[in-house]
Structure 1
Amino acid sequence: MKKIAIGLAAAIMGLALVACFVSPFVAAQGLIRAARTGDAAGLERYVDFPAFRTSLKAELNARASQEIRDRAKGDTGLAALGMLLAPTLVEGAVDGFVTPQGVAAMVRSAETPKPEKPVPASDTPATPKDRLHQSWAYRGINRFAVTLTREDRPDDALVLIMERRGPLSWKLAGVDLTPDPMD
């Protein structure tokens, strides 16, 4: 009887570990499916909108700052003015963009947001499944990256960051616009 109880406990623990490992893959596919079908309620289940807004603002501000420094080429006055204006422009655009329709358009098109154009059109068509490459990677025990790459733009990957919100629950909480190739 004792062997059966130990075996049953081990089986349950094994199933729990497998479920914990597989859960971000299932959530990522649910997010992509909800985006492709325009299921706003489904997107609400898979996206932490406040966290996603914060992450997107930080990433776009960092990218805008880098572009301003690169374009100013030593003109510190112009760079300073750009650095003052960029966060305000990015904040307004991101606040308007991070909606179920906006997130769905970004995921459907697999387009990386840019500081000058962070908002894809809400009627953006979905990239055909056979032209969209998906890859996944853990970035820690509570972070999971979903990388979407279009066949026609292999160097422009959209990296979505999902975070654990419970033992088996994951939500889109960020975007990585400057992925580290070592991640």
Structure 2
Amino acid sequence: MKRIYPVIAALVLIFLAAYIGASPYFTMVGIRDAVSAGDAERLRGNVDFAALRQNIKDQLNAAIFSNPDTGSRNNRFSALAKRFGSKVVDALTDAIITPEAIIAFVRNSSEFEKFKEKSAGYLGDAIALWQGGRSRYDSLSTLSYWPPIEDFEIHLVFTRAGLGWKLTNVILPPDWLKELFRQETGNMENPRK
């Protein structure tokens, strides 16, 4: 009987390690299922919206303030955008990064429909989510994942929350953000073009 205790302890540790290692995948499946069902509460359980909003705000503000066109004499609108940009970014991010808005946006995406067709069952979902992408543990409590998106590369960051994980950041490509704000400020300079 004494021999069985170490075996049971080893099995429990193996199961716990496997669960902790696989739980980011299950979080992604939970996000997919919540979006598919239109379930905002379930999405809140898999995404830390306060952290996600703050991280998106930080990225957008950094892109606005690092724009080399901003502050030039000919770019009055960029200077104005820099002055009020943070307030506008904060307000827009608070309005857009909500469970309801994300559900509406993603459900209308053709990429989401393609992904749903590739998935089959809970394990199939987890495998399909990570196929073609790449992931790595940045620390014991942070996992990064780059999904296989053709147009540009985004970086999803999952952070440990107890034994599970939550999506806490979506890092947008810096070049894409700079180009976005460069084009927008260029359009404001010459609105009649």
| Normalised-by-shorter TM-score class | 0.7 to 0.9
Aligned residue among 146, 155, 158 for 2:154: 158
Structure 1 unmatched ranges of 5 or more: 109-122
Partner residue, 1:88: 87
CA RMSD of aligned residues (A): 2.8
Number of positions where the alignment pairs a residue of Structure 1 with one of Structure 2: 158
Q: Is the 8 A contact 2:29 2:129 kept in 1?
A: no
Contact 2:27-2:46 at 8 Å conserved across structures: yes
Return the alpha-carbon distance in structure 1 between the equivalents of residues 7 and 55 of structure 2: 44
CA distance in 1, matches of 2:129, 2:27: 17
Q: Gaps spanning 5+ residues in structure 2: where? A: 119-127, 175-193
Cα distance per residue 1:45-85 (max 9 Å; x no partner): 1111111111110111122233x32x348559856543222
- Partner of residue 170 from structure 2, selected from 169, 175, 180: 175
Give, as a single letter, the amino acid of the residue that structure 2 aligns with 1:21: G
Report the counterpart of residue 124 of structure 1 in structure 2. 108
Task: Report the CA distance between 1:23 and its aligned residue.
Answer: 0.7
Does the aligned pair in 2 maintain the 1:36–1:126 contact within 8 Å? Answer: no
SS at match of 1:157: coil
Q: Does 1:97 align with 2:93?
A: no
Shift of 1:29: 1.4
Deviations 1:15-46 (A, max 9, x none): 11111101111111111222233221221211
Q: Percent identity?
A: 25
Relative to its length, the structure with more helix (as a share) is: 2
Structure 1 length as normaliser, TM-score? 0.72
Q: Describe the shift of the 1:148–1:175 C-alpha distance in structure 2 as closer, same or farther (beyond 3 A).
A: same
Q: SS of the counterpart of 2:140?
A: coil
Mean Cα deviation higher: 87-96 or 2-11? 2-11
Distance 1:36 1:158, change over 3 A: farther
Distance (whole Å) between structure 2 residues aligned to residue 19 and residue 37 of structure 1:
25
TM-score w.r.t. the length of structure 2 is 0.69
Q: 1:174: how far off?
A: 1.4
| AA matched with 2:147 | L
Tell whether the 8 Å contact from 2:145 to 2:157 is kept in structure 1 after alignment: yes
Q: Which has the higher contact order (CA 8 A, sep 6+)?
A: 2
